[in-house]
Chains A and B, each alone.
Chain A
């Protein structure tokens, strides 16, 4: 089945540690996105990528890093510089401009 897979579903880390969230898609989509959602809040864009080896900062990129070495994969690293990393992280992809995005099931990150 085609889709977007995020792993793990739940992740716990100690403060000060970097952590990498996985996102893989087999939809052959060019564009991929990372969003963050806090309780009772809308989605905020962290990073996005239109093509392999290219990515752009979104609205809240500080404390995060990404890579896009393969079309199928867009991992997100939450670094120790991110002040409030506990959140629900959603990865999405879309086939191109003007098209709808499809989401993975998300990763709930808790930093203690």
Chain B
């Protein structure tokens, strides 16, 4: 089993729709979780950290479910500019090593 798994997509949704991604992780001791956004041929950029209580930043909401070992990202009222690949990132603990999922590709259609 991979340490971090994501549905690679692609997800094609109309502008204004709500879309959600899940990401599962294998190490139950993992302590920190993040969502990154990566545009085509660019570097990943931090979208948001994921806290145990869940957190929201504008149209974006991240949730952590420790019991089932997954994190989720919800995007409301999607914009064309949200088209990107979304990377789930987990720190499994120990040696400051971040593990990246393969990414979920999202395309917002006009």
Contacts and interface: CB of A to CB of B under 8 A. Distances in A.
Contacts of A41: 102
B77 to A, nearest CB: 25
B46 A102 contact: yes
Interface of A: 31, 33, 35, 41-43, 45, 48, 50, 56, 58, 88, 90, 92, 94, 96-106
Nearest to A30: B96
B49 A45 contact: no
A100 B87 CA distance: 13
A102 B44 CA distance: 8
Given A33-B98, A42-B103, A104 B91 contact: no
Nearest to B49: A100
Contacts of A97: 91, 96
A106 B43 CA distance: 6
Nearest to B45: A103
Given A42-B102, A88-B41, 18 more contacts: A33-B98, A41-B102, A42-B87, A42-B100, A43-B44, A45-B97, A48-B97, A50-B95, A50-B96, A56-B95, A99-B32, A100-B32, A100-B34, A101-B89, A103-B44, A104-B43, A105-B43, A106-B43
